[in-house]
Chains A and B, each alone.
Chain A
């Protein structure tokens, strides 16, 4: 045990002496959370719009006020004629233009219907879609409240409730994804690099020639990264909870246990990568291209796996982060217990065992 501890101490010294390692381990997680949280915000807020009010009556005024007070829109410009429509879009100042027809209020009173035209800049389809949705919602709401009795057409009015994330905050989506990516980065990439570094420097040979057992060398290498990954879990959860108001609906103990499982999985992946690569560059390349990219693209972090073509959909089954993100969402946001996520947990555990098994095999062959 004493031998093992002197080895672990040396590993910590490596980590704390190397600024680049420190940045990767502590800087990147915090930076990513903040970037995703503040900059890459898919929530709609303060979208610039223009209004062309051909009617200019009390009703259009009330509707405009309601739209602007929603917080989603900022009135960039009041247009005077439809000649200005094209130029205002071309200048790129606004994302949407709202056009009230002539005698809007009157028509509404007499005929019970009037039209509003929504012109949207669809060069960014997502934003256009969202603006459309938000605006329609607000107009419908306005109609319901202003003319509650005016129900010439009996309509079915869906009452929508966005379960688990009633405000549709995107922080709910990215925190689990980032957690998975960071843990893979720190655990798998860093371990694979640090183990191959010993090989490359020739120190591995000396360590193997010492009374340390191979298993002690490997455990000594991964122990610091296990601890640092747990620190990362805590800091990501802390930031998500205190800065972005993400709730932790389920049991914290379960959450941390699942994170630990995923860390083990990533560490075993890192060891596996180190057994197949000869140089640090090779380990880094395999980790980045073979691990990070699929983790980001095929895990459901950014693109929902359900919408993928069949091949990619089935490929996503072998991506550990896919299952981990599923677990995180279930526990953190839905607040479910273990009985709902045992299947995902089992899959991750099996993957871990497979990786460890292959690593041991590979390592033995190398020693022969």
Chain B
């Protein structure tokens, strides 16, 4: 990673405990500006917990964490103003139109009426939905909804966007289009923090981290990881990191089958 880029997310020794259960065990990593950072891990590995802390939705137990230069303990409000968040559950309102959803989130993020109008125009034009702004969200196909949700998460031009499994349940073509939007945002200097289950998507990231049982067990570019573990694709990297006994036991199961199990 080029060192001249500034650090947008800074995490040192993040620990989060729920009672005696340790959800995040001493996480440390940095995310740089304009980077697409893949945050991988099996279900229950602690991804969502860490992400919620970074978004100001939850308190860490200990650790030194800044997001967009603000402290997660004391400056939650400032963090929230500077990030966008798209949850794994779909987050637009079905009974509102495209424009109304955009007006709502624009309003919540404190944009003026004029700014909102300009942003709606820009975003709709980019998505080629200008003539459909009065369509109810309920009447759109899922792929469109997700692209819209991503656009809405960026309506206030945040510095960082957190995407929690953004492409769940959509077809490969739409996923590819969705990633085009992510690249475009990264090119504009926005930092993207993405969790995903799809290992082909992990290949698209600039760097990925893989969480196992609350720890980060691997963190590097996809290329370096594949070299390190001597495998062809991220799927096998993931399995080697998350299930080290898998290959040694010589299962004949295909890795895509395991991937389904993880999902």
Interface residues of A (CB under 8 A from B): 2-3, 5-7, 9-10, 13-14, 17-18, 201-203, 205-212, 367-368
17 pairs, CB–CB < 8 Å, chain A vs chain B: A2-B107, A2-B110, A3-B107, A3-B109, A6-B104, A6-B107, A7-B104, A13-B95, A17-B96, A202-B89, A209-B55, A209-B56, A211-B77, A211-B81, A211-B110, A367-B57, A368-B59
- Residue among A13, A206, A208 with the highest chain B CB neighbour number at 10 A: A206
Let me know if B57 and A208 touch, CB within 8 A: yes
Let me know if A211 and B109 touch, CB within 8 A: yes
Let me know if B89 and A3 touch, CB within 8 A: no
- The chain B residue sitting closest to A10, CB to CB, is B104
**How many angstroms from the CA of A1 to the CA of B87 in the assembled complex?**
25
Given contacts A2-B110, A212-B108, contact A17 B77 (CB under 8 A): no
B144: which A residues are within 8 A, CB to CB? none
Q: B107 to chain A: closest CB distance in Å? A: 2
Let me know if A203 and B91 touch, CB within 8 A: yes
B106: which A residues are within 8 A, CB to CB? 6
Given contacts A10-B93, A13-B96, A203-B93, contact A210 B57 (CB under 8 A): no
Let me know if A3 and B110 touch, CB within 8 A: yes
B103: which A residues are within 8 A, CB to CB? 6
Let me know if A211 and B80 touch, CB within 8 A: yes
In the complex, whether B85 has a CB less than 8 A from a CB of chain A is yes
A206: which B residues are within 8 A, CB to CB? 85-87, 91
A13: which B residues are within 8 A, CB to CB? 95-96, 100
- The chain A residue sitting closest to B18, CB to CB, is A368
B162: which A residues are within 8 A, CB to CB? 209
Q: Which of B41-76 contact A (CB under 8 A)?
A: 55-59
In the complex, whether B105 has a CB less than 8 A from a CB of chain A is yes
Let me know if A7 and B89 touch, CB within 8 A: no
In the complex, whether B246 has a CB less than 8 A from a CB of chain A is no
**How many angstroms from the CA of A9 to the CA of B100 in the assembled complex?**
10
Let me know if A10 and B96 touch, CB within 8 A: yes
Chain B contact-residue range equals 20 to 34
**How many angstroms from the CA of A202 to the CA of B162 in the assembled complex?**
15
Let me know if B80 and A209 touch, CB within 8 A: yes
**How many angstroms from the CA of A210 to the CA of B107 in the assembled complex?**
11
- The chain B residue sitting closest to A6, CB to CB, is B107
- The chain B residue sitting closest to A3, CB to CB, is B108
Q: B79 to chain A: closest CB distance in Å? A: 9
- The chain B residue sitting closest to A15, CB to CB, is B95
Let me know if A209 and B57 touch, CB within 8 A: yes
Q: A9 to chain B: closest CB distance in Å? A: 8
- The chain B residue sitting closest to A220, CB to CB, is B108
A5: which B residues are within 8 A, CB to CB? 107
**How many angstroms from the CA of A210 to the CA of B82 in the assembled complex?**
9
Q: A292 to chain B: closest CB distance in Å? A: 26
**How many angstroms from the CA of A7 to the CA of B85 in the assembled complex?**
17
A205: which B residues are within 8 A, CB to CB? 57, 85, 87, 89, 91
The proximity string for B residues 140-161 relative to A, scoring 1 for CB distances below 8 Å and 0 otherwise, is 0000000000000000000000
**How many angstroms from the CA of A211 to the CA of B75 in the assembled complex?**
11
Let me know if B57 and A211 touch, CB within 8 A: no
Report the 6 A-B pairs with minimum CB-CB distance, sorted nearest first: A6-B107, A202-B89, A209-B85, A206-B91, A17-B95, A211-B80
Q: A206 to chain B: closest CB distance in Å? A: 4
B88: which A residues are within 8 A, CB to CB? 202
- Residue among A2, A18, A202, A209 with the highest chain B CB neighbour number at 10 A: A209
In the complex, whether B29 has a CB less than 8 A from a CB of chain A is no
**How many angstroms from the CA of A206 to the CA of B90 in the assembled complex?**
10
B90: which A residues are within 8 A, CB to CB? 201-202
Q: A363 to chain B: closest CB distance in Å? A: 13
B92: which A residues are within 8 A, CB to CB? 203
**How many angstroms from the CA of A367 to the CA of B107 in the assembled complex?**
23
Q: B238 to chain A: closest CB distance in Å? A: 26
Q: B153 to chain A: closest CB distance in Å? A: 8
